Amino acid sequence: MARISGVDLPREKAIEISLTYIYGIGRSAARRVCDLAEVPRAMKTHQLDETEVVRLRDAIESHYKVEGDLRREFQQNIKLLMDVGCYRGLRHRRGLPVRGQRTHTNARTRKGPRKAIAGKKKAPTKK
């Protein structure tokens, strides 16, 4: 029922928690939004009346960049790095870690699942 920035908020949770379902709003931002909108943080989401929802919506719109806009900004920043041709951009392009981490081992978050190399012998398993 309460729909803010294109996201349906869970009904049974405190508004302070519900707001974190919006991309770009974490716990501390959620608290600040509640305070700005003068809504009690612990209030359950389904107990909010229309005016409170409107106040929350206004508070988010005027103070935070959320959802699509935020994702777009995020992508644009990466694209900028790639276009300008700097080291960080190259790492983004190759899908490798950007901040100087090792890649000899690990780095699986960036590299994705391990790829088998044809013809590579398995290390003998220790007894």
Partner 1 sequence: MARSLKKGPYVEASLMRQVNQTDGKGIVRTWSRRSMIIPGFVGRTFHVHNGKLFMPVFVTENMVGHRLGEFAPTRKQTSHAGDRRLKQR
Residue 80 as a binder of partner 1 (CB under 8 A): the answer is yes
Specify the stretch interacting with partner 1 by CB under 8 A; choose among 44-52, 53-61, 68-76, 88-96. 88-96
Burial category of 123 from C-beta neighbours within 10 Å (exposed 0-12, middle 13-18, buried 19 and up):
exposed
Specify the stretch interacting with partner 1 by CB under 8 A; choose among 22-30, 37-45, 85-93, 104-112. 85-93
- Rounded to 5 degrees, what angle do the CA atoms 14, 16, 21 make? 95
**Residue 53 backbone class (left: φ over 0; alpha: ψ -120 to 50; beta: rest):** alpha
25 contacts 33 by C-beta, under 8 angstroms: yes
At which residue do the structure tokens 């608290």 appear? 31
Residue 42 as a binder of partner 1 (CB under 8 A): the answer is no
Residue 84 as a binder of partner 1 (CB under 8 A): the answer is yes
Residue 79 as a binder of partner 1 (CB under 8 A): the answer is no
Residue 106 as a binder of partner 1 (CB under 8 A): the answer is no
Distance of closest approach, residue 94 Cβ to partner 1, in angstroms: 6
Specify the stretch interacting with partner 1 by CB under 8 A; choose among 1-9, 37-45, 61-69, 78-86. 78-86
Q: What is the DSSP letter of 100?
A: S
Q: What residues line the site for partner 1 (CB under 8 A)?
A: 80, 83-88, 90, 93-94
